[in-house]
Chain A
Amino acid sequence: EVQLLESGGGLVQPGGSLRLSCAASGFTFRNYVMSWVRQAPGKGLEWISGISESGGNTYYLDSVKGRFTISRDNSKNTLFLQMTSLTAEDTAVYYCAKFVWGEDFDHWGQGTLVAVSS
């Protein structure tokens, strides 16, 4: 059974940093593109970043480019999102999602809440 388990969320002050993790199991992690998608309170879904199978290619939404860094450790089946210079607009539930070529996202984690506030 595919499982994606996010962790690392919490309350952080504006300008602060946070590192999210997504532990994957139930599939061959190194063979799949992964993404982070977020959802601000009461708002819709927003894709923010993706990473290729090897980690050699990364993609970002313009609003997080230069502040967020996606990475992965295929030896530990874990996806990461390093977030810096956080603002209130980054407050959201952050989901990791498994991407299948031709099929888009087929599995999602349960999400982790990031709250940016003083």
Chain B
Amino acid sequence: DIQMTQSPSSLSASVGDRVTITCRASEGIVNYLAWFQQKPGKAPKSLIYAASSLHSGVPSRFSGSGGGTHFTLTISSLQPEDFATYYCQQYKSYPFTFGPGTKVDIK
């Protein structure tokens, strides 16, 4: 199975900050990498697919990059509604696997 890791596991930031989260795969996954946002008590929301493509309706302050085994999610200017937990996930092969999550909270 492909293992996914994320760093950091949590971070504190202020509104307006630029935030970067890193995701690594245990083997190459080309660009079969997605990012999700989840708020407490809510279902995950799909943000990015194919490492860098935004789902419809996702604000442009979110961006993704990377390929192979190393990927990043960047929020260019953190907004109050962005405080949440973020997960990466590979969909190159079954079983699909998620990273452990990165919690972004208010400094």
Contacts and interface: CB of A to CB of B under 8 A. Distances in A.
B97 interface: yes
A35 B94 CA distance: 11
Interface string A53-96: 00000011110000000000000000000000000000000010
A59 B91 CA distance: 13
B95 A103 contact: no
B71 interface: no
Q: Is the interface of B mostly helix, strand, loop or mixed?
A: loop
Interface residues of B, number: 24
A102 B96 contact: no
A1 interface: no
Contact of B95 (A44, A45, A59, A106): A59
Contacts, number: 60
Nearest to A102: B50
Nearest to A109: B43
Interface of A: 35, 37, 44-47, 50, 59-62, 95, 99, 102-111
27 contacts: A44-B98, A44-B99, A45-B36, A45-B89, A45-B101, A46-B98, A47-B89, A47-B95, A47-B97, A47-B98, A50-B94, A62-B1, A62-B95, A102-B50, A103-B53, A103-B55, A104-B46, A104-B49, A104-B50, A104-B89, A104-B91, A105-B46, A106-B55, A107-B46, A108-B44, A108-B46, A110-B43
